[in-house]
Structure 1
Amino acid sequence: MTYLETAAQFYSEVAQTPEIGLCCVQSTPLQLPGLKIPRTMEEMNYGCGTTVHPNELANQPTVLYVGVGGGLEALQFAYFSRRPGAVIAIEPVKAMGEAARRNLETATQLNPWFDTSFVEIRTGDAFNLPIEDSSVDIVAQNCLFNIFEPADLTLALKEAYRVLKPGGRLQMSDPIATRTIPAHLQQNEQLRALCLSGALTYQEYTQLIINAGFGQIEIRARRPYRLLDTQTYNLNENLLLESLDSVAFKVDIPEDGACIFTGKTAIYAGKESFFDDSAGHILQRGIPAGVCDKTAAKLATVKPGEILVTDSTWHYNGGGCC
């Protein structure tokens, strides 16, 4: 049995008998006015973070959600796009798709504004999305891509890139590892299905996103997720997993490399009222400006002592000068 077959069997079982918090550290679902989430959806909240960022959801975007799970985030996306077919959910596991449909039916009873036509559930997988090229505004997935082996993850990322409109966004939440996970854990199919052994390091994860063609990545949250301890997992030292929420944009990769925003800022402290680096970055004296990591590194060497570059906060919500 392959790791994908193991994962499919595992999620088929938990679709029929939900296990609260069985693999992921559950977070409180996003609270929105007039949105009531069915209890079964909360019990099937197997994600490690969130892909639903309200500031990304103006103008009722068309959302492709890969791996519908219990339907929680599909419902949340529908909250912002209240029209038939606004959310297309792709689900390879039959039992999970059926459970999501039941949960969405329940959601209509709790939410007068919601209609099940807002969410269309299609059978398919992340490697061959049943969607036309350049046809959706957002592709989202929560705690699915991390179970893929690198070659399969590359395929999934390229498929997401293919179906996005120019300027579209790939919104993801996945575990990442603070160091490379040992081979004996990577090869454990059950642990991989549990979102515990397939995680890549931050550098590996973001590089694969860039390799798929995405020219800009914004980190929305990075926080501790799970600890793989020495006794349970046969390790020489404890290994911390983190949860990473990111948004990657389908824009061209600049000649000098992709832009990754991690919450760094640059602050000009020179004698003039502003600093212009002639590359599109204007810093007002004394006012922090969000910059990508690449620009931060360059500015730190331009005027030593006159430009302060702050550390990553691992949270970025726009508003920078890049």
Structure 2
Amino acid sequence: MTTLPQSSKPNEEQSVYTRYAAAAGQREEDLCCPVDYNPLLLEVIPEEVIERDYGCGDPSAFVRSGDTVLDLGAGGGKICFMASQLAGADGRVIGVDLNPKMLALARKHQSTVADRIGYANVEFRRGMIQDLALDLDQLEVELAKYPVKDASAWLELRQIEQRLRETSPMIADESVDCVLSNCVLNLVRPQDRVQLFQEVFRVLKRGGRAAISDIVSDETVPAHLRANPELWSGCISGAFREDEFLNAFEDAGFHGMHIAKRQSEPWRTVEGIEFRSITVLAYKGKDGPCLERKQAAVYRGPFKKVEDDDGHVYRRGQRMAVCDKLIRLLRQEPYAGSFEIIEPRIEVPLESAQPFDCRRGQIRSPRETKGENFQITTDAGDCCDPGGDCC
């Protein structure tokens, strides 16, 4: 591996790289935020991995059986090994990390965990989480063949990088069901964070989800704290402000973002700014055409009205006219159970559905779903619960 000369003043990437390389060999308590993990999932994981784990939450709780899972900043592999048990033999887990020493620790125990659970479904790859297309192990093979000795060779290297991204990406487009991360996004440089969230969105399948545990602040972190490499590598000064963390998912195209877990008391307080752990869930899949199929969605409450990420407003108890795509979303996480979905009495075939203007925000007349000439009269039906008293 080529070692580049270091600047006299450590930057964010250098401080993170150096500190976590050391933490792979000897546990560092300051990198830990107390977390209650499922003890049953920890039983098969070697103690060395558990001791060298540094996180602030447990995003593995949102893995489902059969998922293809991607863990960003996998470190020694603990979350990957937990997720492997939840995904099961039909699932697959990919851990990505930049630090060779952390990767060596994770790879060292791959076969041990596989033997203990009865199947092997975990692999580890080297790369930067803000550039999930570039496999750094592949890049090192190319560098061995074409070492960078001058500017021309550097320009050639840029072309090699792009070729690797396009022809053999480390993580392919729309190949992952669930992206996990445990206290790593705050370590990425501010100038790379838009790309980071775009990459998470890119690799997720339509209908996929991200479960991200990270440290956030209640106030904007001032410049003099952000310039402190010790605080940066310690998951403090690089923390997202809580509201801006959620906004970053929205800006990347996610929907349904919500805080699944929030630490009530701060983990640390620096100059009056509180830093705490939160776990955010976000979903991909709101793209696609808006088609009119005479459907309506009724918000059950308890709020008087709510607004989704695309500006659709739902008023409690009212039949809001919505498109077929939105109906499908409202039946899924995280909205399922909050809405009553009303289908038309006569189905509108998808192939004959016309474009629907979602911006109109109109109430759907019951006659649109029943039919204008609906004149049926029926006898009283059974409105009682089985075994209950009738009114």
Q: TM-score, normalised by structure 2?
A: 0.62
Does residue 1:13 correspond to 2:13, yes or no? no
**Cα contact 2:35–2:57 (8 A) shared by 1:** yes
Aligned to 2:247: 207
Does residue 1:57 correspond to 2:57, yes or no? no
**Cα contact 2:187–2:233 (8 A) shared by 1:** yes
- Give the alignment of 1:183-198 within 5 angstroms: 183-198=223-238
Aligned to 1:321: 338
Shift of 1:81: 2.4
Amino acid at match of 2:129: A
Aligned to 2:79: 73
**In structure 1, distance between residues paired with 2:42 and 2:184:** 28
**In structure 2, distance between residues paired with 1:174 and 1:139:** 13
Aligned to 2:108: 102
**Cα pair distance change 1:24/1:34, threshold 3 Å:** closer
**Cα pair distance change 1:288/1:33, threshold 3 Å:** farther
**Correspondence for 1:246 among 280, 287, 301:** 280
SS of equivalent to 1:125: coil
SS of equivalent to 2:53: coil
SS of equivalent to 2:181: strand
SS of equivalent to 2:88: coil
Shift of 1:193: 0.9
Does residue 1:126 correspond to 2:129, yes or no? yes
Of the two structures, which has the highest relative contact order with CA contacts closer than 8 Å and spacing of 6 or more? 1
Shift of 1:47: 0.6
Uncovered stretches (5+) of structure 1, i.e. residues with no partner = 230-234, 255-277, 304-315
Please, what is the CA RMSD of the aligned residues? Answer: 3.2
**Cα pair distance change 1:44/1:317, threshold 3 Å:** farther
- Give the alignment of 1:1-322 within 5 angstroms: 1-19=10-28, 21-32=29-40, 35-54=43-62, 56-58=63-65, 60-83=66-89, 86-108=92-114, 111=116, 113-115=117-119, 117-129=120-132, 130-223=170-263, 224-229=265-270, 235=271, 238-252=272-286, 280-283=297-300, 294=308, 319-321=336-338
**Cα pair distance change 1:137/1:171, threshold 3 Å:** same
Size of the aligned set, in residue pairs, is: 272
Q: Deviations over 1:219-278 (max 9, x none)?
A: 21011342224xxxxx3xx22112110111012279xxxxxxxxxxxxxxxxxxxxxxx9
**In structure 1, distance between residues paired with 2:43 and 2:232:** 33
Q: Deviations over 1:6-50 (max 9, x none)?
A: 20111111112222x322212132233794332222212211011
**In structure 2, distance between residues paired with 1:45 and 1:28:** 13
SS of equivalent to 2:38: coil
Shift of 1:138: 1.1
SS of equivalent to 1:280: strand
**In structure 1, distance between residues paired with 2:249 and 2:71:** 17
Q: Deviations over 1:125-158 (max 9, x none)?
A: 1122111111111111110101223331211110
Q: TM-score, normalised by structure 1?
A: 0.74
Give the greater-gyration-radius structure (CA): 2
**Cα contact 1:24–1:195 (8 A) shared by 2:** no
